[in-house]
Amino acid sequence: MRFQNLNMILQQKINIKNKRASFDYEFIEKYVAGLVLLGTEIKSIRLSKVSMNDAYCHFIAGELYIRNLSISEYDFGTCNNHEVRRERKLLLSRRELNKLERKLKESGLTIVPVRLFLNDNGLAKMEIALSRGKINYDKRQSLKSKDADREMARARKE
């Protein structure tokens, strides 16, 4: 019985989204990056125990790291369990890293995580976006457009 549950978990498509990011930021460009993880971290990701609230990316010595990404401890981990909110390195090509670092020097831009998923090979990937913060007026506009889309979808169903 226990192995059947484990197989069902492994067959699920993991797709964890940062819904707050699309509300607070306007996305300019999106990239897909790999993550450097420990063994217990990937097991927790497969169980969908991830929170991307308040997570952001920054550069340290020319390398991109994600900070405040919360991956819960693995329940069956031993004393070798990982830290919940440690900095994790993101893997991008040198050309992409240089481009992002140049654009970050422009005022008002930041890099936020948008989505965490497992690809077909079982590797954890993170979709990140170069983004600009929205002001309150933009947030109200996006809420109005979402409401209008929802109303139109309801009208189509009826």
Q: Is residue 147 part of a domain?
A: no
Token pair 């979808």 is found at 153
pLDDT tens for 122-145 read 889 999 999 988 777 777 888 888
pTM reported for the whole predicted model? 0.76
CB 48 within 8 A of CB 70: no
* Tokens at 5, concatenated: 């549950």
Per cent of the chain over pLDDT 90 is 29
pLDDT at 60: 92
Token pair 């063994």 is found at 39
pLDDT tens for 31-43 read 999 999 888 888 8
pLDDT at 8: 53
> What is the domain range of residue 97?
2-133
Query: How many domains are there within the chain?
Result: 1
Q: Between β-strands 50-51 and 88-91, what pairing exists: parallel, antiparallel or unpaired?
A: unpaired
Residue that wins the pLDDT comparison between 93 and 75: 93
H or E stretch covering 22: helix 19-24
CB atoms within 10 A of CB 125: 16
Query: Which CATH number do you get for residue 10?
Result: 2.40.280.10
